[in-house]
């Protein structure tokens, strides 16, 4: 069993409230869950208006599949929202 974990750091430069941040983050989380069948949560910077860290997890029997899936997730997050910039990401595979 392989557990894949992606940590995605986002910057939301034009935001000025936590409500505005939620309006950016919640659709990303919902779409990732729907399209990729992964677990997603905001895991850091909850009180910051202009940054967010998302944790994404998947379980697979194939190491390459898990890594590929998480790369697609990262690429999708970067493409979907013009109001959120991908600052950094990290993918970790645990066997």
Where would I find the H helices in 37-82?
A: 63-80
45 vs 91, more confident: 91
| C-alpha to C-alpha distance for 62 and 35, rounded to whole angstroms | 19
| C-alpha to C-alpha distance for 15 and 21, rounded to whole angstroms | 7
Q: Taking residues 48-77, report their average pLDDT.
A: 95
pTM (2 decimals)?
Answer: 0.90
Closest Cα to residue 78, out of 45, 43, 42, 54? Answer: 54
pLDDT, the chain, mean: 94
Q: Is the pLDDT of residue 15 over 90?
A: no
CB distance 5 to 54 below 8 Å = no
Percent share of the chain, pLDDT over 70: 100
Where residue 47 falls among pLDDT bands split at 50, 70, 90?
confident
CB distance 53 to 21 below 8 Å = no
**CATH dotted code for 2-94:** 3.30.70.1120
pLDDT of residue 66: 96
């Amino acid at each position: 069993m392989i557990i894949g974990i992606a940590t995605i750091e986002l910057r939301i430069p034009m935001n000025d409230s936590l409500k505005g941040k939620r309006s950016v983050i919640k659709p990303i989380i919902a779409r990732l869950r729907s399209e990729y069948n992964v677990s997603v949560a905001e895991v850091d910077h909850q009180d910051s208006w202009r940054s967010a860290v998302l944790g994404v997890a998947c379980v697979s029997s194939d190491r390459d599949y898990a890594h590929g899936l998480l790369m697609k997730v990262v690429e999708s997050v970067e493409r979907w929202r013009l109001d959120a910039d991908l600052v950094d990401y990290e993918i970790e595979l645990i066997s």
